Chains A and B, each alone.
Chain A
Amino acid sequence: MKKVLIPLVLFFGLVVFLAVGLKRDPREIPSPLVGKPAPAFSLPTLAGDKPFSPADLKGQVWMFNVWATWCVACREEHPLLVAFSKTQSVPIVGLSYKEIQAADQANGPLSDDAKLSLARERSLRFLQRQGDPYKLSVMDLDGSVGINYGVYGVPETYVIDREGIIRYKQVGPVTPELLETKLLPLIRELEKS
């Protein structure tokens, strides 16, 4: 009797392993940056006033959202961010990530100034139409700041605490569930400390 059960137990053990393996998303990569200081940078803003760097927001809890007008999933999460910015006081800083793509330069490479102005024009038009949840947006045209933040799939959202430490990283669109169950409780807790 016992011997008959052994393959059965082994089989169900295997089933459990495979089921867990199937449910896991290989694209969800734990970021090594959580718990580390947000990488410093200084980038021109979308509005064109003085450059922004993360140190400007020291002492505040804030969200850093990587987006682009070409990014379909960003459009998906955009209304949620707009609604969030209307009800919450947490500032969201946008990182306009590689707004100018290879297709934009099919007719020959653009100069840096031309890229910046085209990116600004396009982003502003998008925000005027869809609503602007951002306190400000910074322009990362070549994606080098993105590399420092380990960006590999837009949109991405970071929660950064008063000391400038990254406390959370979300790859892919923010969902209402995530906002309610993870981001807001985390932000409230960080704001208390």
Chain B
Amino acid sequence: MKRLCLLLALCVSTVWAGEAQPMAQNPQVEARLVVIAEELRCLVCQNESLASSHAELAEDLRREVRKLIQQGMTDAQIKTYLVERYGDIVLYRQPVKPLTWPLWFGPFALLLLAVWGLLRYLRQRKALVQQRMSETDHAQAESLLKE
């Protein structure tokens, strides 16, 4: 009897869940849509994300992403779906691959180069200063300072 009750209760709940909701009013889908769309670039106005763009294409793509969410695709699958059609440029976070190595590692390489240059310069300058200050110079400087 208990089991039957439970089963009935479950049936009722699935019936409720099955009721179609208008797309824009499903808050979970909308929340995920915003998270995904903020990581995607609108191709018409390239400095805007898909979430913030008012371009017609952005609207279409948001609709498409919403559809894909409802089909049960994961975030990664949805991004792959769009990359297959529009290329890596739709992603704000570019994937790490040989072509994007300069983008990801270039700044660090430049930093290392700058540090190396700085160290070299400092060492040279130190050597120069030490070289210039001979004994007599030193004595002269000291006497001048005492005056």
Contact = CB atoms under 8 A, between A and B. Distances in A.
Nearest to A147: B64
Contact of B64 (A30, A33, A101, A144): A144
B49 to A, nearest CB: 15
Chain A contact residues: helix, strand, loop or mixed: loop
Contacts, number: 40
A98 B60 CA distance: 11
A153 interface: yes
A155 B88 CA distance: 22
Contact of A26 (B46, B57, B60, B87): B46
B87 A29 contact: yes
Interface magnitude class on chain A: 20 to 34
Contacts of B64: 144, 147
B109 to A, nearest CB: 15
A150 B60 contact: no
A148 B85 contact: yes
**Interface-central residue, A32, A33, A98, by most chain B CB under 10 Å:** A32
Contacts of B57: 143, 152
Interface of A: 26-27, 29-33, 98, 101-102, 142-144, 146-150, 152-153
Interface of B: 43-44, 46, 56-57, 60-61, 64, 83-89
